[in-house]
Amino acid sequence: MATLPKVPVDTSVSDFLTNVYPKLSAEMAASNPSASELSGCTITMVISVNGESYSYMVKDGTTVEFKAGEIEKPMLKLKMTKDELDKMIKTENLDMILGMQNGLNKAKYNALNSLKGSFLAAVTDADGYVFNIDATLNNAEQPRSIFRMSAADSSALMRKDTNPVNLFMSGAMKIEGDMAFAMATQPLFS
């Protein structure tokens, strides 16, 4: 079971993206036992909120760099609205975002480096609100899949208390769209 950091619920979206997330990413990289597997590798990610982009790079599994704005051809681009991210912060439902940086290893790097396509993570909170996190891998919109699950199951997945296959087989995660692509994304959540 992985422990993901907690973010204060009064954190603004801007502060989360420019200060808190880069700091937490650096802390996760510094404590990652698999960091040595990533020597010579650079992982790039962009979070786009209402069209404003925030870029993060993890170099050699240990160094995290942040810059406001878009970087060219990120391996992973997450898109959401400011209202959704604000609600994620206030309801402590950031595991889907924080978990992407947690436990980086060669298998995750290989998946991020090779997968082309996109998926929507539709995560339903306890109050019925649906957070939509749109993820694009290597600038490819197709193939496309949709993952539907509860916030509790999403948290368990990102904390490695379960895996995508168990969630799918139990009916806790519904998958729509390209099933082969959906299955190929499994290393991102392992």
Instruction: Look at residue 164 in the predicted model and tell me its pLDDT.
Output: 86
Q: Which of 4, 66, 65 is nearest to 32 (CA)?
A: 4
Contact between 78 and 97 under an 8 Å Cβ cutoff? The reply is: yes
Instruction: Look at residue 59 in the predicted model and tell me its pLDDT.
Output: 94
Proportion of the chain above pLDDT 90, given as a percent: 70
Tell me the mean pLDDT in the region 131-157. Answer: 94
Instruction: Look at residue 120 in the predicted model and tell me its pLDDT.
Output: 95
Proportion of the chain above pLDDT 70, given as a percent: 98
CATH architecture of 13-189: 2-Layer Sandwich (3.30)
Instruction: Look at residue 190 in the predicted model and tell me its pLDDT.
Output: 72
Report the amino acid identity of residue 6: K
Token digits of residue 134: 């749109």
Report the amino acid identity of residue 142: Q
3-state DSSP helix/strand/coil % of the chain, to nearest 5: 40, 30, 35
Contact between 98 and 158 under an 8 Å Cβ cutoff? The reply is: yes
> Which residue reads 């197709």 in tokens?
142
Distance, in Å, from the CA atom of 95 to the CA atom of 158, rounded to the nearest integer, reads 6
* 71/5: higher pLDDT: 71
Instruction: Look at residue 2 in the predicted model and tell me its pLDDT.
Output: 59
| pTM (two decimals) | 0.92
SS3 4: coil
> Does the pLDDT of residue 102 top 80, yes or no?
no
Token digits of residue 115: 């997968």
Q: Which of 11-20, 32-41, 62-71, 98-107 has the lowest mean pLDDT?
A: 98-107
The H-or-E segment that residue 109 falls in is: helix 106-114
